[in-house]
Amino acid sequence: MKSTFFEDVYEVVKLIPRGRVTSYGAIAMYLGAHKSARMVGYALKQGMDFPDVPAHRVVNREGMLTGRHHFPDDRPMDVLLQQEGIEIENMRVIHFDRCYWDPARELL
């Protein structure tokens, strides 16, 4: 057992309600502290192989779909989010504050 970070990230991401989004830093913070939001995105990249992990619901602090480049062409990140009811424009989440889901606050 070693990839605890990955599994932990997967768990939190899987808990994200439909129509909501969260940020890498929020997940990292929930895991213990804002140690490194980079690792969250890194873990998600690896976790992309897990369909149970809606990585498209995870965006950066600005609500930008920074990881869209890592998504398959058949399933663009912005399209997936729009299907969930989230408005996307210019590869960014509109009303991001409204759709924001903080595990350390909602899931507490």
Partner DNA sequence: GACATGACGATTT
Partner DNA sequence: GAAATCGCCATGT
How many chain residues bind DNA (CB under 7 A)? 34
Contact between 76 and DNA per CB under 7 A: no
x-or-dash pattern for DNA, window 77-106, by CB under 7 A?
x-----------------------------
Beta-carbon contacts of residue 99 (< 8 Å; ≥ 6 apart): 19, 20, 21, 86, 93
Say if CB 31 and CB 5 are below 8 A apart: yes
One of 8, 15, 20, 42 touching DNA (CB under 7 A): 42
Contact between 37 and DNA per CB under 7 A: yes
Contact between 2 and DNA per CB under 7 A: yes
One of 12, 16, 21, 58 touching DNA (CB under 7 A): 58
Say if CB 10 and CB 57 are below 8 A apart: no
Pairing, β 88-89 against β 22-23: unpaired
Phi, psi (rounded to 5 degrees) for 92: -145, 150
Binding site for DNA (CB under 7 A): 2-3, 5-6, 23-25, 34-42, 44-45, 47-48, 55-56, 58, 60-62, 65-71, 77
